Structure 1
């Protein structure tokens, strides 16, 4: 007797990510109650399952939903506001003044809705977020139907959102309590960076992270200036300082990690830390190139992030896969490093594992939640296709995403968003905030 299921997806190719390096042809994925029941040949699936809905993808590759390991989603409203500046000038002369004038709960909610729509259309189903007003960000992600890890952002200086570190933590933890039992929304502790957070605050964050079993999400070693300033003021490199404050561990996600020496890599490895690699943002801000090949060879988990749209300027993990692979090759003079399957893993399972979600998402395996992305390879620019993994890393773009599911629910259908808000409403938000930011 056939087993009833909610959804059966028949695809020309399935790249499950786990096991690694595998591409399945003419396979089906059965989904019921938001979870994957099985991955099997299509002929077998027709016998074993009877589906309420069947989706046929004859010229597509089905992959896990992409996981964005680092973003500032509300900054979609500042896309292009301050281009072609190095990091500290970009922050001090443009971004921080704009935030001081305009950031509010509505700003964060509207900007995060715009970002969520952009990410979903590009196959991103999970976002690791860091910004102000985490309650508003969580509301937007929930409305969009995305999965998110929302950061309790902490700094040691005042902003319109909070007055001091205690205030940031109080407000962020209240938001965490509000969303405690949500299936798709969880929270991290997100101290901004070593140069904006004091030792006393870091000690408190380390204690809270242990108590709450929370991810620590932080910018680290992004620029050479950051390293020299830490040596001047603290006598050690930033990662060594954080190690001494007991922040490093399996729950630590260090963002950028561009300027690393052997001692830094050893610390990351010994403490089982993960790295969020943001190649496009690092290039645009001229911060440098992270030593991704060395990190991967050392066994350190590396996932891809977009950073915010004010410094990228797009939330596009297909672009990040391509940049990550090509930068690793050209900086090592080794064309074999970060091959296509490795780049795909850096956009799916590796960031899921970094967030403590690897048992739930990041690969197409029975028992996992059905966060899935289909990419159409039926256009002139994607033909011929000898290897769909190669096409994902080097040919296809987010414009080729045809279908996206989160927990088995359709979010993008034949390239069109299936959201509570339509494009007209989202464009209205963008126009409103462009006017305000321009004045």
Structure 2
């Protein structure tokens, strides 16, 4: 007797990510109740299932939804505002003043909608965010149906969001409590960095993270100047400060990490910490180079993020895949490191592992949530076809993403967003652009 299911997708290829490098040809993926039921040859699927919806994607590859492991989503409204500047000049003289003037719940709401539209159209099904008004980010993610880890932001100085550490943490803990029953939404503590959050504050956050079992998402070792200044002021490198405070653990998501010594890489591997690599943002700000090949070889889990669109200037994980692979090879001086399968894993399963979601997403396995991306490889840019996995990393553009599912819900259908009004999101973004442009030039 045929089993009734919600959706059956017949695809030319399926790359489940687990096991590494596996490419299934002429297979089907079955979905029921938001979860993957089976991956099997198409003729067997026809004999087993009767779907409500059946899609035949003869030129497509199915992959797990991409996981953007470091974003400042609503900063998409500042895209292109202050380009071609080094990090601290960019931050202190342009971005922080703009945030002080403009960031409020409406800014975060409209910016997050635009960011989610861009991410879904590029195959991202989960993002790990760090920004102000995280409750607004969570609300927008919920209404759009995307998976998200929302950062409980903390800083040593007052902002439009909170006056002091107590208020940052109070608001964050309240949000954590509110989201307990949300299946697609999670939280992480998000102290900005060791140079903007004091040692006592970081120690307090570390204790809370341990008690609640939450990740700690933080910028670390982003530039050589930052590390040198911290060492002058505190007598140790930032990563050593985190080690002294007990924050080096499997809960740590250390973003950027462009300045690493061999002993630090060994320590990260020893404690099971995660590194979030943002190759294009680091290149654009000339921040340095994350030694991804050495981290990977040492056994450190490396995931990939875009950073915010204000410093990237996009939220395109397909672009990050290619850049991460090529940059990693160039830095290592070895063309064989970071092969395509490994880099795709960094943007899927490794991201899920960093966020504590590997049992739920990151690979196409029966029982996991149906977070799936269909990519059309019949475009001129990806023909002829020798190896679809290599084509994904080295040749594919985000415009080739045709369909996206999160927990079985089709959020992008033949390039059309189904839960988000794109025209409205664009109109609101243009209105913000007009206001910010006038204020920035005043």
Return the offset for 1:204.
Answer: 0.6
**Cα displacement (A) at 1:170:** 1.1
How far 1:7 sits from its partner (Å)?
Answer: 0.6
Q: Offset at 1:47?
A: 0.8
3-state SS in 1 of match to 2:181 = coil
User: Stretches of 4+ moved more than 6 A in 1?
Assistant: none
- Match of 1:153, SS? strand
Separation in 2, partners of 1:268, 1:226: 20
Query: Residues 415-430 of structure 1 correspond to what in structure 2 (within 5 A)?
Result: 415-419=415-419, 421-430=420-429
- Match of residue 199 from structure 1: 199
Deviation per CA, 1:338-364: give whole Å up to 9, x if none. Answer: 111111101100000010000100000
Q: Partners in 1 of 2:422 and 2:372 — Cα distance?
A: 23
Q: Which residue of 2 aligns with 1:225?
A: 225
1:12-59: CA deviations, max 9, x gaps? Answer: 000000011110100011110000011111111111111111111100
Matches within 5 A, 1:99-118: 99-118=99-118
What is the CA-CA distance between 1:282 and the residue it aligns to?
0.3
- What's 1:163 paired with? 163
Structure 2 distance, partners of 1:268, 1:412, is 38
Structure 2 residue 145 is the aligned partner of structure 1 residue 131? no
Q: Which residue of 2 aligns with 1:385?
A: 385
Measure the CA separation in 2 of the matches of 1:436 and 1:380.
Answer: 40
TM-score using structure 2 length? 0.98
Q: How far off its partner does 1:424 sit? A: 1.6
For 2:177, the equivalent position in structure 1 comes to 177
- Mapped to 2, the partners of 1:217 and 1:68 lie a distance apart of 13
Specify the alignment match of 2:401 in structure 1.
Answer: 401
**Partner of residue 436, structure 1:** 435
Alignment correspondent of 1:321: 321
Distance 2:270 2:333 in 1: 28
1:93 matched to which residue of 2? 93
Equivalenced residue count is 438
Q: CA deviation at 1:165?
A: 1.2
Structure 2 gaps of 5+ residues are: none
Where does 1:240-255 land on structure 2 (aligned, <5 Å)? Answer: 240-255=240-255
- TM score, norm. by length of structure 1: 0.99
1:44-55 equivalent positions in 2, closer than 5 A: 44-55=44-55
Residue 166 (structure 1) shift: 1.2
Consecutive unaligned residues in structure 1, runs of 5 or more: none
Q: What's the counterpart of residue 290 of structure 1?
A: 290
| 1:175 Cα offset (Å) | 1.8
1:239–1:267 contact (8 Å) kept in structure 2: no
- Alignment of structure 1 residues 74-89 onto 2, 5 Å: 74-89=74-89
CA RMSD of aligned residues (A): 0.8
Partner of 2:301: 301
The 8 Å contact of residues 157 and 163 in structure 1, kept in 2 or not, is answered as yes
Q: Alignment partner of 2:8: what SS?
A: strand
